[in-house]
A and B are shown apart, each in its own frame.
Chain A
Amino acid sequence: MGYKVIIRENWCKGCYICLSVCPKNVFEKAGLLDDRGIIVSKAVRPENCIGCQMCADHCPDLAITVEKEDE
């Protein structure tokens, strides 16, 4: 059983607090600017997620939801 890490990308401003608080190194900066000129955060290793909610609780833009995956 794993977790889904959902990022509402249109709310993300690229502060990268999620990168710094995640104990499992799930996030990376996107490779390209989006159409607002922001390099958003991407959950590139969701299989490592342990569901601690550190990223979701520290996101200043309320942009992250971490949910248990359906079995």
Chain B
Amino acid sequence: MKQEYLKYIRDNVFPTAFCPGCGHGILLNAFVSALGELDYDQDNLVLVSGIGCGGWIASPHMNTDTLHTTHGRAIPFAIGVKLANPKLKVVVISGDGDLTTIGGNHLIHAARRRIPITVICGNNNIYGMTGGQASATTPVGAKTMTTPLGNDYRPFDLVKLVKGAGGEHVYRYTAFHAMQMKKAFKDVLQKDDFSFFDILTGCPVQYGRRNELREPAKMIQWMKDNSVLYSGEYHDDKIMVGKF
């Protein structure tokens, strides 16, 4: 993080409220760095979030206009902003519980209608803030507060969900892929199309401690070891990363 990029954050609220090693912070880092490298006009950008730790990525940390909305409803607020002033770049940043579980309906219809907003899901596979309940993206077998013997249900694959609903410009990266994530953020920040990011951030505290990934460095290594760059072939047993 270059010193001059700190103008994009509200440094009076730092250090963040996130737990040590929280991957949502790596997403925040990549987004701030993308703005910095583009010398982006922070007065033309509105960041919209819902509720949860993921909802804290943009608000209060980012020094742009931010809307911290109600649980699951970030996308409808964002669409309202975009309709009221189409010149603005509108980016939603929130969690998997918020965007895909409680607010999943808004996500599929924004994708279907290709509303020209960017939606970034800080997907840590769990409801982190409320103590670690299973979400729509919790993997089969994963232990959570509500699935202490392991999750029985298949998770959403967010890339397939959003593409299936009609969305274009769909990406996935993990917190290990900070640099690739930053580059992709730069690409979409310069466009006025619908785009979607499934960013596997990892929650060392609520997810990691129940699934042998409590150490943040171990979580990052696990992401590195289990991901494969997409080049036409999709492997369901791997974390496919790249542009889809």
Contacts and interface: CB of A to CB of B under 8 A. Distances in A.
B232 interface: no
Given A11-B14, A13-B20, A59 B220 contact: no
Interface in A17-31: 17, 19-21
Chain B binding surface, main DSSP class:
helix
Which 9 A/B pairs are nearest by Cβ-Cβ distance?
A60-B25, A15-B21, A20-B217, A13-B20, A15-B20, A57-B178, A15-B216, A11-B15, A62-B1
A46 interface: no
A21 B33 CA distance: 18
A19 to B, nearest CB: 7
A61 interface: yes
B129 interface: no
Contact of B23 (A13, A56, A60): A60
Nearest to B181: A57
A65 B5 CA distance: 10
Contacts of A14: 20
B21 A60 contact: yes
Given A13-B20, A15-B216, A57 B29 contact: yes
A16 interface: yes
Interface of A: 10-17, 19-21, 53, 56-65, 67
A62 B25 contact: yes
Interface in B74-105: none
B110 interface: no
Given A62-B14, A62-B29, A57 B182 contact: yes
B30 A57 contact: yes
A65 B2 contact: yes
Interface string B116-151: 000000000000000000000000000000000000
A20 B29 contact: no
Contacts of A60: 16, 18, 20-26, 28-29, 216
